[in-house]
Structures are given as C-alpha cells and as structure tokens.
Amino acid sequence: MIMKHTATFLFILMNSFMLYAQQGVKYVQPKQFQSLMQTQKGIVLDVRTPAEYKKGHIKGAQLMNIFDDDFEARLNKLDRNSVFYVYCGSGGRSSECTEMMVKKGFKHVVELEGGTSNWLKNGLPLVID
C-alpha cells in the first residue's frame, strides 16, 4: 500500500516539475541563441530603448521597449504559445521581461544571456536598419 502511494506521489511530483520546467525560461549563450533562432521559428524581442535599437540589433528583432507605458498591454496581446527570443543590452531588462512572460503563461521563452554585450563579445553581428 505504501509503495503504491509513494509511486503515485512521485508521478505527480515528476509531472509537476516537468510542467514547471516547460513553462520556464531557457537561458542560452549567444551562439546557441543564434542557432535556435535559425532552427526554431519564433519572435525575437529587443526590449531595449529605441536609441539602443537604432545603434544595432539582432537581425529580425522587433523593438518592444520595456520602459514604454504600454509595454505590459502589448505583451498581453502576444500569443502565449509562440516561441519568443528575448534580449536587451546586458541581461537585466530581458530577465525582467521573461519573468513577466512566464507569470503570464508564455510557454516557450528563450533569453540571451548577457544581452547584446555578450553577443558582440562572441563575434556575432548586429544590424542597423
């Protein structure tokens, strides 16, 4: 009897952990971030300011300034089942954004560790439109 309850408890615990892990943020280094963007279609969000974005951004990124008054409202309009690649300048703002996204039920969120600073240190290019 105890064995049956232990097995049931472990099954529930394992499924809960798997659900949590699936809804968390995947933190990746620049080259893995670039590789994932190329192999798994998604939306790239640059959460920096417009001035920072104009100086150079990751190709295909959409600007969504985290400091805008309507940032959260814009975030709420996004499809929670899409894959999102999120970055900022060094990782602070993107962490704030991805934490917010997970709390709102976004299921597939990838964050660039170290932001564009780390991206450039790894020899990867930014584009200027």
List the one residue out of 91, 88, 84 whose CA is nearest residue 109.
84
Check residue 23 and give its pLDDT: 59
Check residue 13 and give its pLDDT: 40
Q: Do 77 and 67 touch, CB atoms closer than 8 A?
A: no
HEC states along 91-123? Answer: CHHHHHHHHHHHHCCCCEEEEECCHHHHHHHCC
Check residue 3 and give its pLDDT: 52
What is the residue-level pLDDT of the chain in tens, covering all 129 positions? 555 555 444 444 444 343 344 458 999 999 999 999 999 999 999 999 999 999 999 999 999 999 999 999 999 999 999 999 999 999 999 999 999 999 999 999 999 999 999 999 999 999 998
Q: Which residue has the tokens 């290019």?
A: 125
Tokens of 86: 């999120």
CATH fold, domain 24-121, is Oxidized Rhodanese; domain 1 (3.40.250)
User: From CA 114, how far away is CA 33, in angstroms rounded?
Assistant: 11
Look at the pTM and tell me if it is higher than 0.95.
no
Check residue 34 and give its pLDDT: 98
Check residue 129 and give its pLDDT: 83
